[in-house]
Amino acid sequence: MANTKYDAAYDLSLFDEELSYSSAAPKRRGEEEPERKTGKKQSSRNKVVTLPEDELVKIRRRKHNPLKLAIGSVAAAAVTFIIGVIIVGQVQLTELNQKIISAEETLADTESIYIQNQMKVETTLSKAEIEKYVTEVLGMTKASNAQKEFVTLESGDKAEVSAQKDGNIITRFFESLSNLWS
C-alpha cells in the first residue's frame, strides 16, 4: 500500500478550497465536478498583493552600480587592448614572414647566378691555360729546391715576457687574480 507520509505531497484535495474547478477549467466528457468540503472555514481566495503601476516600473527598472560599471568598462578596455595587441603582433609577424620569404627568394636567385658565373669562369680558365699564361706572358717559373731557403733554430723557441714596473695597486690586484686562474 501507499505510504501515507509521502502521499500528502500528492494530495490535491488540500487545495480544493482555493481552486474552483467549475470556473477555472472546462469540463471533459465523463468527468464529474469535484465536491467541495463545506465543513471547513473558507480562507480568502485572493492572496496576491497588488502594487501600483509606478512602483512596479520602479522595481522592474534595473539599478546600475557605478563601481560595477567602472570595473566592467576597465575589463572590457583591457580585453580590447589585449586583442588589439595580439592582432597587431600577428600583422607584424605576417609582414616579417613575407620579408623573409622574399629575402630567401633573392638569396636563391643570387646563389644561382653565382654558380652560373663560377661555371663560366671554370670553363674559360683551366689550370693548364693559367700555367701557360703565367710562363709565357709573365715569365714566371716553378720554384726549384735551389730557390728554397730553410731556416733552423739552434736553441729552440723562446718567449720573453716584459713586465711593466709602473702599476698601481688596482692593476697589481687584478694581475694577482689573473695569475691565480692561470
Across 27-31, 76-80, 127-131, the highest mean pLDDT is recorded for 76-80
Question: Higher-confidence residue: 181 or 93?
Answer: 93
Share of the chain above pLDDT 90, in %: 28
Please, what sign has the CA dihedral across residues 23, 28, 30, 31?
negative
CB atoms under 10 Å from CB of 19, counted, come to: 14
What is the reported pLDDT for 94?
Answer: 95
- Is there a domain that residue 143 lies in? no
What is the reported pLDDT for 14?
Answer: 62
User: Averaged over 110-117, what is the pLDDT?
Assistant: 95
Share of the chain above pLDDT 70, in %: 65
- Is there a domain that residue 107 lies in? yes
Question: Higher-confidence residue: 3 or 56?
Answer: 56
Question: Higher-confidence residue: 99 or 167?
Answer: 99
What is the reported pLDDT for 126?
Answer: 77
- Label residue 73 by pLDDT band (50, 70, 90): very high
Unique residue bearing C-alpha cell 560595477: 68
- Is there a domain that residue 22 lies in? yes
The answer, as to whether pTM is greater than 0.75, is: no
- Is there a domain that residue 146 lies in? no
Our count of domains for the chain comes to 1
User: Averaged over 43-49, what is the pLDDT?
Assistant: 64
- Is there a domain that residue 133 lies in? no
What is the reported pLDDT for 24?
Answer: 47
Q: What is the pLDDT of residues 10-27, one digit of tens each?
A: 666 666 655 544 444 455
Q: State how far Cα 38 lies from the chain centre.
A: 76
| Burial (CB count <10 Å: 0-12, 13-18, 19+), residue 21 | middle
CA distances from 28 to 8, 11, 15, 25, 59 (A): 26, 21, 20, 9, 41
- Is there a domain that residue 155 lies in? no
Phi, psi of 51 (to 5 degrees): -115, 155
Q: Which domain holds residue 31?
A: 14-35+45-124
User: Averaged over 162-174, what is the pLDDT?
Assistant: 72
- Is there a domain that residue 52 lies in? yes
- Is there a domain that residue 60 lies in? yes
